[in-house]
């Protein structure tokens, strides 16, 4: 593997979260009855004409600027001509030689170093409908036809499947911060295709590239590229020629298969779309939009390390998703113990979310609720262990932690007198363990503490229990 290096370029298609489609007023709501969100325009009926959605355009410009791109002086649309039943006009309104934006970048970390992945271009286009295949015939639903898409293309700067994964993660974080798309690969609002080739290490000429499609998650992209790189290296090794082709990833079998297509390279006959006029974003507006961009993940992470004295790693994790970052910040405002906030979010909360397969927005415990819970731990009102249970219950029921603690009477017992009485009782009833402890077996202490906790149904303040127990065992009350 070390004889060769891998060269990867990624093409991401992003569905913009506007209320209506790119060129008509049909709704973009997900999951509607087939062909119920269509009109003459997105059906491509004869005589229909496109009119560009201003919000889609604005979203696109925001993305371009957030990715550090230059905005084209004169933006135009072009027709990409090809025949397919999910394409009602048999051409797609897209952008060819004067796309919305170009020359951007995303920085990732590779082998501990910062690496710049250049973004070649960002352009707008319309989506096609959905084609479903059954034996004997195919069916078409045009609800998706005309949805606004943004295509983001990198230069072949990625050198490994891991880098590709990181690039996608960083890109998604930025896009979600901009609130221009929900970036959900399952729902199809984010799609990724890859171009991958290998070449002898140190070579500058690009090898034969293979296009890989049908990867429906970031993990699949990583696996597919890992597989493909290996396949190509192995092919080179055995003297096989690598064919320029498109391969589809099979996530179940974890292999890629060549698409056997009868068509030679399709000719798109691009020409400027005569039904749309050109678009200009003047320099002043670009500055205004730039200044109006929200704080992006990298900047936010940097601020978190300073403002909240967080480690770079923690800041990176927390800011990797905007919902998480906002949740954290809101909680941190309400609870002074930032370290605890970070730990609980990154630990117990994220673990629970993973199990429930939901995002932080569906955590059912508000930042104020979390802050309240952590404050209770710090003030000793509830033990840390108890708090973990309360958290899970809050996340299951949506009830505020304070209410749960009250209802279940889980308040920690901090009264030394109360605890002393229980300790004395446990000591009295566990002579063997007391002697074991005096003989030097420290486990015996743990056992005795456990007995006190059991007796108080876990509510005794463990620190106080330990303190009092030691004092009594060491002699004298």
Partner 1 sequence: MKSIDKKVVEKVAHLSRLELNEKELDQYCSQLALILSYIDKLNELDTSKTQPTTHALSTLKNVFRKDVPRKSISSDEALENAPAKDGGLFKVPPVIGSK
Partner 2 sequence: MEKLYALTAHELISLKKSKAEIAGSVHDRIEAVEPRVKAFVRVNNTSSAEGGGVLSGIPVLVKDNICVSGEETTCSSRILDGFKPPYDATVVKKLKAAGAYLIGKSNMDEFAFGSSCETSCYGPTRNPWDLNRIPGGSSGGSAAAVAADETIMAIGSDTGGSIRQPAALCGVVGMKPTYGRVSRYGLIAFASSLDQIGPITKDVEDAALLLGIIAGYDEMDSTSVDMPVPDYKRSLVKDVKGLRVGVPKEYFIKGIDKDVEASVRKAIGVLKDLGAEIKDITLPHTEYAVATYYIVAPAEASSNLARFDGVQYGLRDKGARDIIDMYIKSRSEGFGNEAKRRILLGTYCLSTGYYDAYYLKAQKVRTKIREDFDRAFKDCDIIITPTSPTPAFKIGERMNDPLSMYLSDIFTIPANLAGLPAISVPCGLTAGALPIGLQIMAKPFDEETILRAAYTFEQSTEHHKLKPKL
List contacts with partner 2 (CB under 8 A). 40, 43-52, 79, 81, 83, 85, 88-91, 138, 140, 267, 269-271, 274-277
Instruction: Yes or no: say if 256 and 249 are a contact pair by the CB < 8 Å rule.
Output: yes
Q: Of 89, 254, 228, which Cα lies nearest the Cα of 161?
A: 228
Q: Which does 259 bind (CB under 5 to 8 A by kind): partner 2, partner 1, none?
A: partner 1
Binding to partner 1 by residue 131, rule CB under 8 A? yes
- Is the CB of 53 or the CB of 160 nearer to partner 1? 53
141 binds partner 1 (CB under 8 A): yes
Whole-angstrom distance, CA of residue 331 vs CA of residue 214? 39
Nearer to partner 1, 54 or 252 (CB): 54
- As to burial, measured by CB atoms within 10 angstroms (0-12 exposed, 13-18 middle, 19+ buried), residue 130 is middle
Q: Tokens for 129, please give them.
A: 């409908």
Q: Binding residue for partner 1 (CB under 8 A) from 241, 262, 306, 432?
A: 262
Q: What residue 27 binds from partner 2, partner 1, none (CB within 5 to 8 A, per partner kind)?
A: partner 1
55 binds partner 1 (CB under 8 A): yes
R_g over Cα of the chain:
30
- Please count the other Cβ atoms lying within 10 Å of the Cβ belonging to residue 234: 11
CA dist 101 and 119 (Å) reads 9
Longest dimension (CA), the chain: 98
Q: Is 392 exposed, middle or buried (0-12, 13-18, 19+ CB in 10 A)?
A: middle
User: Does residue 272 belong to the site contacting partner 1 (CB under 8 A)?
Assistant: yes
Of residues 109 and 257, the one with the C-beta less far from partner 1: 257
Output 53 or 256, the one with its CB closest to partner 2: 53
The verdict on 98 binding partner 1 (CB under 8 A) reads no
Instruction: Tell me which of partner 2, partner 1, none is bound by residue 278, counting a contact when its beta carbon lies within the kind-specific cut-off of 5 to 8 angstroms.
Output: partner 1
Size of the site for partner 1 (CB under 8 A): 51
Reported as type and span, the H/E element at residue 4 is strand 4-15
Binding at 91: pick from partner 2, partner 1, none (beta carbon under 5-8 Å per type)? partner 2
- Strand 210-215 vs strand 246-250: parallel, antiparallel, or unpaired? parallel
CB of 71 to partner 1, least distance (A): 13
**Which distant-in-sequence residues (6+ apart) come within 8 Å of 325 by Cβ?**
297, 300, 304, 318, 319
CA gap 168, 188 in Å, rounded: 15
Contact 462, 449 (CB under 8 A): yes
**Contact partner at residue 89 from partner 2, partner 1, none, CB < 5 to 8 Å by partner kind:** partner 2
Give yes or no for residue 277 binding partner 1 (CB under 8 A).
yes
Minimum CB separation of residue 244 from partner 1 in Å reads 17
Q: Does 346 bind partner 1 (CB under 8 A)?
A: no
Distance CA 122, CA 64 (A): 7
Spell out the residues 6+ positions from residue 168 whose beta carbon is closer than 8 angstroms to its own: 10, 12, 192, 218, 221
Q: Considering only CA atoms, which of 241, 227, 32, 52 is closest in space to residue 148?
A: 52
Choose the contact partner of 409 out of partner 2, partner 1, none; CB within 5 to 8 A by kind. none
Residues 223-252 touching partner 1, rule: CB under 8 A, are none
53 binds, among partner 1, partner 2, none (CB under 5 to 8 A by kind): partner 1
Stretches 82-90, 155-163, 201-209, 293-301: which one binds partner 1 (CB under 8 A)? 82-90
Does position 39 bind partner 1 by CB under 8 A? yes
* Polymer length in residues for the chain: 477
Which of the choices partner 1, partner 2, none does residue 206 contact, using the CB cut-off of 5 to 8 A by kind?
none
| 248 bridge partner residues | 213, 257
309 in contact with partner 1 (CB under 8 A): no
Residue 87 CB, shortest distance to partner 2, in Å, is 9
Q: Which of 9/88 has CB closer to partner 2? A: 88
Q: Which region among 107-115, 132-140, 342-350, 430-438 touches partner 1 (by CB under 8 A)?
A: 132-140
Distances (CA, A) of 424 to 21, 143, 417, 466: 74, 73, 11, 12
79 binds, among partner 1, partner 2, none (CB under 5 to 8 A by kind): partner 2
H or E element: which one contains 125?
strand 113-126
Binding site residues, partner 1, CB under 8 A: 18-20, 24-27, 33-40, 43, 51-57, 76, 83-85, 131-133, 135-142, 259-262, 267, 269, 272, 274, 276-280
């Amino acid at each position: 593997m070390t004889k060769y290096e891998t060269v990867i370029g990624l093409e991401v298609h992003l569905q913009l979260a506007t209320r209506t489609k790119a060129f008509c007023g049909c709704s973009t709501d997900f999951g509607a009855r087939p062909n119920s969100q269509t009109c003459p325009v997105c059906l491509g009926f004869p005589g229909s004409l496109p009119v560009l959605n201003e919000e889609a355009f604005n979203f696109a410009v925001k993305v371009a600027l957030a990715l550090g791109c230059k905005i084209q002086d004169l933006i135009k649309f072009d027709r990409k001509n090809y025949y397919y039943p999910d394409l009602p006009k048999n051409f797609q309104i897209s952008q060819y030689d004067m796309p919305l934006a170009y020359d951007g970048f995303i920085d990732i970390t590779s082998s501990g170093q910062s690496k710049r992945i250049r973004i070649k271009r960002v352009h707008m286009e319309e989506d096609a409908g959905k084609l479903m295949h059954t034996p004997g015939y195919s069916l078409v639903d045009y609800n998706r036809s005309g949805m606004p898409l943004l295509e983001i293309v990198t230069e072949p700067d990625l050198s490994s499947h891991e880098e590709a994964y990181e690039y996608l993660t960083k890109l998604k974080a930025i896009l979600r911060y901009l609130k221009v798309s929900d970036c959900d690969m399952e729902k199809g609002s984010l799609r990724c295709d890859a171009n991958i080739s290998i070449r002898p290490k140190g070579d500058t000429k690009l090898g034969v590239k293979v296009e890989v499609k049908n990867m429906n998650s970031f993990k699949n992209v990583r696996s597919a590229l890992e597989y493909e790189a290996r396949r190509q290296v192995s092919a080179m090794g055995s003297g096989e020629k690598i064919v320029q082709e498109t391969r589809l990833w099979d996530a179940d079998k974890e292999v890629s298969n060549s698409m056997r297509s009868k068509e030679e390279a399709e000719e798109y006959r691009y020409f400027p779309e005569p039904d749309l006029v050109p678009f200009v974003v003047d320099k002043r507006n670009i500055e205004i939009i730039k200044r109006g961009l929200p704080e992006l993940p990298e900047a936010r992470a940097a601020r978190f390390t300073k403002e909240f004295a967080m480690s770079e790693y923690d800041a990176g994790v927390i800011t990797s998703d905007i919902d998480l970052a906002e949740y954290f910040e809101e909680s941190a405002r309400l609870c002074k113990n930032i370290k605890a906030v970070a730990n609980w979010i990154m630990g117990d909360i994220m673990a629970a979310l993973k199990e429930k397969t939901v995002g932080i927005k569906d955590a059912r415990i508000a930042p104020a609720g979390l802050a309240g819970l952590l404050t209770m731990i710090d003030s000793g009102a509830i033990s840390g262990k108890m708090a973990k249970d309360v958290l899970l219950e809050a996340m299951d029921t949506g009830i505020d932690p304070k209410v749960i603690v009250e209802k279940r009477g889980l308040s920690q017992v901090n009264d030394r007198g109360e605890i002393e009485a229980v300790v004395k009782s446990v000591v009295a009833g566990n002579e063997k363990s007391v002697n074991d402890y005096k003989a030097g077996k420290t486990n015996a202490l743990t056992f005795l503490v456990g007995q006190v906790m059991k007796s108080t149904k876990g509510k005794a303040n463990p620190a106080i229990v330990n303190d009092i127990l030691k004092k009594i065992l060491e002699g004298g009350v």
